Amino acid sequence: MIYIHTLTWFILLVAVLTGYFYPIIVYMSFIFVHEAGHFFTADYFGWRTDKIYIYPYGGYSKFEDDINRPLKEELIILLMGPLVQTLYYCFLNMLGINNIAAYHYSILLFNLLPIYPLDGGKLVNILIAYKISYRESYIWTHVISVIVLTLCVIMAIKFFLSLTIVLILILLIYKLWISYKDRVYCFNKFLLERYINKYKFKKIKVVGKLDKMKRDYKHVFKKGDTYCTEKEELERYYKR
């Protein structure tokens, strides 16, 4: 299901009334193609897609799937959005459609900013998750996002402040805040998936606490001089 944000509809309406319909349609086509790259790759891996959101600055594909899906799959799904968009841009150039570079690069570079939930923020999260625990990677992703978003706000105020930029920044701040508020829910979902489902991870890591659990790893818990399996530790956690 595709959900088009109210602000996007407003911009389309203004474009029709002011005679800028063609540029907006070209711009939106890049966003749709970008999200199609994410969607069809996710479908290939068997991920369940809930909605595709279309915002003025880009799109967002929301998946109804396990947090514990392989990091490799998530990384490929993420990269296919910019890749398919770039191929689409090259295809339009081959057809002789000119003056579209600004649309392509503005969407591409903006989405690669390390601000969650933009593609750049998700990429940061995936790369960090390879090194540290799921809970820590979630927090650090949002810390980095806040720093970059703050710099963007300062740059916008100093150099290119406009109504559109203000609305986009407000929307990003809101999305980042909502995502940060969900950190406890996401961590509990991560643990519950491990408790209910049987994942076959090849790598094993010894940890002392649940919040040190990593994605793509099966865990052994060390309590003093004793060891227990991940399943046993989660059973004790949910019984408490």
Does residue 161 lie within any of the structural domains?
Answer: no
Phi, psi of 19 (to 5 degrees): 85, 15
Average pLDDT over residues 59-83: 87
Domain count, the chain: 2
**Residue 92 in domain:** yes
Listed residues 111, 132, 147: the one ending a domain: 111
| Whether the Cβ atoms of residue 68 and residue 199 lie closer than 8 Å to each other | yes
Residue 141 maps to a domain: no
Q: In this predicted structure, what is the pLDDT of residue 2? A: 58
Q: What is the span of the domain harbouring residue 226?
A: 193-239
CA distances to 12, 24, 100, 103, 217 from 17, rounded to whole Å, are: 9, 12, 22, 20, 55
Domain boundary among 80, 111, 142: 111
Stronger pLDDT, 236 or 62, i.e. the higher one:
236
pLDDT reading at 116 higher than 60: yes
Please indicate, yes or no, whether residues 102 and 203 belong to a single structural domain of this protein. no
In a domain, 117, yes or no: no
pLDDT of residue 36: 87
Residue 178 belongs to some domain of the structure: no
Task: Report if residue 175 sits inside a domain.
Answer: no
DSSP letter assigned to residue 47: P
Is the pLDDT at 98 greater than 80, yes or no? no
For the entire predicted model, the pTM comes to 0.86
Mean pLDDT of all residues belonging to the chain: 87
Using 50, 70 and 90 to split pLDDT, how confident is the model at 158?
Answer: confident
Are both 100 and 2 inside the same structural domain? Answer: yes
- Looking at the structure, tell me whether residues 210 and 104 fall in a common domain: no
Residue 28 lies in a domain: yes
Query: What mean pLDDT comes out for the span 21-49?
Result: 84
pLDDT band at 239 (very low <50, low <70, confident <90, very high): confident
Question: Are the C-beta atoms of 48 and 63 separated by less than 8 Å?
Answer: yes
Domain presence at residue 101: yes
Of 111, 129, 150, which residue constitutes the final position of a domain? 111
Tell me: the pLDDT tens digits for 168-218? 888 889 989 999 999 999 999 999 999 999 888 999 999 999 999 999 999
51, 2 contact by CB (below 8 A):
yes
